[in-house]
């Protein structure tokens, strides 16, 4: 049987595909303050501004392409039972060929009713003010905003608990609750983190690879294959 490889990815893995990250943009995304576009309060205050922001991000993702780190993770499915937990809202993992992806913070190519979280629809174009779900409510991006609960975090914790190997790529483990997922992996399993800026960690059995995702994946793959 293949070992269970659990991978937590963050904005750093998509940054090399040209998608801006919050951390590298001084708290701004394309000139927008996070508080104005990515909170429930922002949605109540100015729905048009929020829709404009996410419509722009959707166009950016449509133009982006998976990079070597995305393809490297997809390739690992030959050797491992790979489960990707991503904080990213893009579909670059799927386009690279990964078949088991859980999106913690929602998906840019989905929209939902602002009242009923279960009414979810696919979207490739812009969401417009006046577009409504089956229940008559305005459609909003299917995104977990700041100050909202993360519905998939319990499922992600269950996956982390089953890990034989746990890998973190493109996140410095400072954004919670996602950052806490590595603590759910059994203490003795090998753990790896790839990021440009890695803070000190007292986690047991952790190997740090302080490189961008596309470079770090090249260093990681032989280390993982030695463990299969």
To the query of whether residue 70 is one of the catalytic residues in this protein, the response is no
CA distance 52 to 123: 14
Query: CA nearest 170: which of 3, 5, 19, 1?
Result: 19
The H or E element that residue 210 is part of is none
In the three-class reduction of DSSP (H, G, I as helix; E, B as strand; rest coil), residue 188 is classed as: coil
The CA-CA-CA angle for residues 210, 216, 218, to 5°, reads 150
Query: CA nearest 29: which of 6, 3, 58?
Result: 58
Which residues in 104-160 belong to E strands, given as ranges? 106-113, 120-122, 139-143
Catalytic residue among 70, 83, 93, 105: 105
Contact 167, 217 (CB under 8 A): no
CA distance 71 to 86: 15
HSE-CB at 215 with a 13 A cutoff on CA atoms is 6
CA distance 180 to 173: 8
Query: CA nearest 137: which of 113, 112, 121?
Result: 113
The residues carrying an active-site annotation are 105
């Amino acid at each position: 049987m293949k070992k269970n490889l659990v991978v937590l990815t963050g904005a750093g893995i998509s940054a090399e595909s040209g998608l801006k990250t919050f951390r590298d943009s001084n708290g701004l995304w394309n000139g927008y303050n996070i508080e104005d576009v990515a909170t429930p309060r922002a949605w109540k205050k100015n729905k048009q501004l929020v829709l404009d922001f996410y419509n722009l991000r959707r166009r950016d993702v449509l133009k982006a392409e998976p990079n070597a780190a995305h393809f490297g993770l997809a390739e690992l499915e030959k050797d491992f039972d790979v489960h990707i937990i991503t904080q990213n809202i893009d579909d670059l993992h799927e386009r690279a060929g990964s078949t088991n992806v859980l999106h913690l913070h929602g998906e840019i190519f989905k929209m939902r009713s602002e009242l009923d979280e279960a009414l979810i629809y696919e979207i490739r174009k812009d969401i417009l003010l006046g577009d409504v779900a089956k229940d008559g409510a305005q459609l909003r991006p299917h995104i977990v905003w700041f100050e909202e609960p993360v519905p998939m975090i319990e499922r992600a914790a269950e996956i982390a608990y089953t890990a034989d190997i746990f890998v973190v790529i493109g996140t410095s483990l400072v954004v919670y609750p996602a950052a806490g997922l590595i603590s759910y992996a059994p203490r003795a399993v090998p753990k790896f983190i790839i990021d440009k800026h890695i803070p000190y960690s007292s986690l047991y059995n952790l190997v740090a690879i302080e490189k961008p995702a596309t470079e770090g994946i090249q260093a990681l793959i032989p280390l993982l294959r030695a463990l299969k």
